[in-house]
A and B are shown apart, each in its own frame.
Chain A
């Protein structure tokens, strides 16, 4: 088993764990953290692909590395936006929960503009 394959499998585990956390955890901060775990898994997979596809004499394929950096920046901005929304939600409503999405009586959501 080469190093690239090992890292690839590790990435698959990260993605699986992260997806489980994203879906199952009710608290939004945990969902954000799980999203970051999935993101790390996807980027690790891309890195393993870069290593596997490297030309002779090079450490890694440069195109995935460039794409990875963009991806990390995008995931970072996503996390920043999500955390900002979460902080504002906590400021406004005093609790950080997503759970009021299903109202007690279906069909009458709370009054909105």
Chain B
């Protein structure tokens, strides 16, 4: 293994944001936004350079730190998956940076200035940690990168310094640390069993035997705790809803992707032959449960930011649907095929759309002074660009042609058909209706004509609005960007009956869900609720109670340990 010619780009991609953090720290207060404004384009250019070099040469970029080769040394490695994620994260970070200039660009007053200073440094730190996650070539560097990501993400939750957000940050930190310890324990076991932690070397040595099962189960569950997959989502709603909008966008769109990417690396690159179809079914089953529970509880929310936070929980479920569909024809190993491309598209589409959605929600909160969904009437007329950004983000998440989520869904549906797993077809098609539910809820309220004209407390910056819109539109048009590696025949004309009918059905399903499950009736007052609506509201309340029960430490801890045991047991069903 040697350092490839473009390998130094990997080093710059990781170091540039951290150099920015150090320089920003040294220069102090008012210069932090300027340092960030300098580093963002550099990082974007480097990510583009890595993708370009990869496309030209066709081989993964490799950089050996210090010139020492594994197993004694550390290699940074960027394959197609890593390069795509690097580029996507760079674009989203630049978008969030443009948005945050209004909130954190130049502020006066001591506490606001400190929050702004910390925000820019943490944005760069999250970016650098994510880059390290994507290009690391061995499991221990990944552990360090994961911890860096957690340490950079946690203070973003409590930027405003209130007691509630500090509590949410501490809860996030403790649960994430529990996850990292489980991951580290798995890595230790792998070293004990196979003598190396380098990913490509380990892939050659790992066998289906108890130590590999134990390590895989522990590492997977630890990473799921950090990704907040249902039922381990104890920390996410208060953390993401309590953070300022620019910080929530970073947390939801980017930080979650780090641990998800690690699960993908672990399952597809380190242990493709060790993980079994039943264990992948469990993983995707948790994802399906996340979609249903997250969407239903989102519909029951009164506040916009909590709704978007619960929608993040639902969308995280989507990211895990690809695992059982990515097995080869004999159902024994995971392959790098179209399903992995679909999963990657889903992740990128979610990152861009979710950032856009949180940014739009933050702008609404800043302009109105509150984010109560029921009192959003008239916002659409007062802030058309913002509501358009929210609507387009919602459409992109629903999977309307030609969004990235649509193409991802198509790829996964193909695989579900060809492997005969019809139940995932139902989940994939039905999940979009759940997403449509809460988008319809918010838009109905925003488009309503209010009794008194809505008064905006504050004018929001045009740059922020258009940054949110730009990210939302990029998610909607993502399918065109992916046309290279995927046959163009998959994207058909959205107005054809074949495409229009499912889209209309999704909208119809979403509207029905919103009508049935929303906390306040969409039309008219709540006094004249029919029987169906009363039953639906009761069901919604039940799901919400179950969710709040699961979001306690004892239940979450028990779920953590039970899932670890279940994963290990499901991997046992393979004959070694």
Contact = CB atoms under 8 A, between A and B. Distances in A.
Contacts of B560: 23
Interface in B273-301: 297, 300-301
Interface in A76-91: 77-78, 81-82, 85-86, 88-89
Contacts of B242: 109, 112-113
Contact of B553 (A15, A26, A52, A64): A26
Interface stretch (B156-164, B311-319, B430-438): B156-164
Contacts of A88: 158, 161, 166
Contacts of A78: 147, 150-151, 173, 177, 180
Interface string A92-113: 1100011011100011111011
9 contacts: A22-B174, A23-B553, A24-B554, A53-B195, A82-B173, A89-B163, A107-B544, A109-B164, A109-B303
B178 A63 contact: no
B293 to A, nearest CB: 13
Interface in B193-252: 195, 197, 234, 237-238, 241-242, 244-245
B48 interface: no
Given A92-B162, A101-B167, A49 B306 contact: no
Contacts of A28: 170, 174
A107 B188 contact: no
A67 interface: yes
B192 interface: yes
Contacts of A85: 154, 158, 166, 169-170, 173
Interface residues of A, number: 46
A45 B188 contact: yes
Pick the 5 closest A-B CB pairs, nearest first. Answer: A23-B557, A93-B163, A49-B192, A89-B166, A112-B242
A19 interface: yes
Given A112-B164, A112-B242, A107 B147 contact: no
Given A23-B557, A93-B163, A32 B185 contact: no
Contacts of B147: 74, 77-78
Contact of A35 (B140, B163, B174, B197): B174
B365 A113 contact: yes
B261 to A, nearest CB: 19
Contacts of A32: 174
A24 B560 CA distance: 13
Given A92-B166, A98-B167, A107-B544, A81 B154 contact: yes
B72 interface: yes
A49 B155 CA distance: 35
Interface in B115-149: 140, 143-144, 147
B559 to A, nearest CB: 10
Interface residue SS majority, chain A: helix
Given A67-B140, A93-B166, A107 B305 contact: no
Contacts of A63: 71-72, 191
B519 interface: yes
B101 interface: no
Contacts of B155: 81
B414 interface: no
Nearest to B196: A63
Given A89-B167, A98-B167, A107 B557 contact: no
A9 interface: no
B492 interface: no
B519 A107 contact: yes
B238 A101 contact: yes
Interface of A: 15, 19, 22-24, 26, 28, 31-32, 35, 38-39, 42, 45-46, 49, 52-53, 63-64, 67, 70-71, 74, 77-78, 81-82, 85-86, 88-89, 92-93, 97-98, 100-102, 106-110, 112-113
B511 interface: no
Given A19-B561, A101-B171, A106-B548, A35 B192 contact: no
B375 interface: no
Contacts of A15: 185
B552 interface: yes
Contacts of B151: 77-78, 81
Contacts of B143: 71, 74
A42 B301 contact: no
A52 B192 contact: yes
Contacts of A113: 160, 242, 244-245, 365
Given A81-B173, A109-B303, A112-B241, A46 B163 contact: no
B346 interface: no
Contacts of A74: 143-144, 147
B558 A109 contact: no
Given A22-B174, A107-B300, A100 B554 contact: no
B167 A107 contact: no
A42 B173 contact: no
A100 B154 contact: no
A89 B166 CA distance: 6
A107 to B, nearest CB: 5
B140 A70 contact: yes
Interface in B527-576: 544-545, 547-548, 551-554, 556-558, 560-561
Interface string B432-475: 00000000000000000000000000000000000000000000
B477 interface: no
B174 to A, nearest CB: 5
B165 interface: yes
A82 B172 CA distance: 10
Given A22-B174, A82-B173, A89-B163, 6 more contacts: A24-B553, A78-B180, A88-B158, A89-B166, A92-B163, A98-B170
